[in-house]
Amino acid sequence: MTKQEFITWAKSKGYTDSGRGSKNIRLISPDTQTSFRISKIAVRYEVKVKDVGWTRLQSNYLKNLSVGENGKLKGLKR
């Protein structure tokens, strides 16, 4: 999976760009307080924790990710 394919998939699931101009892109879901932080080669799935900030739940390299027939993301690992 390429970085652009992942961004397209995440936006189709309701994630929006945080708008911060860093080298990593953060796509945030306002409904669930979760986000995907996307670097050049990897993706981190994170949850917002009160008084702590963003905490990683799962991650993997973009090359190991895919979208299944049901439209769900496959390949993220703890």
Question: Is there a contact between 33 and 15 (Cβ–Cβ < 8 Å)?
Answer: no
Band the pLDDT of 22: cuts 50, 70, 90.
Answer: low
Residue ranges making up the domain that contains 27? 3-74
Q: What is the DSSP letter of 7?
A: H
**Does the pTM exceed 0.75?**
yes
Question: Is there a contact between 57 and 75 (Cβ–Cβ < 8 Å)?
Answer: no
Neighbouring C-beta atoms of residue 29, cutoff 10 Å: 15
Number of separate domains in the chain: 1
> Which pLDDT score, from 0 to 100, does residue 21 have?
59
Q: What is the pLDDT of residues 25-78, one digit of tens each?
A: 888 888 888 999 999 999 999 999 988 889 999 999 999 999 999 999 999 998
> Alpha-carbon distance 77 to 61, whole Å?
10
Q: Per-residue pLDDT averaged across 7-21, rounded?
A: 85
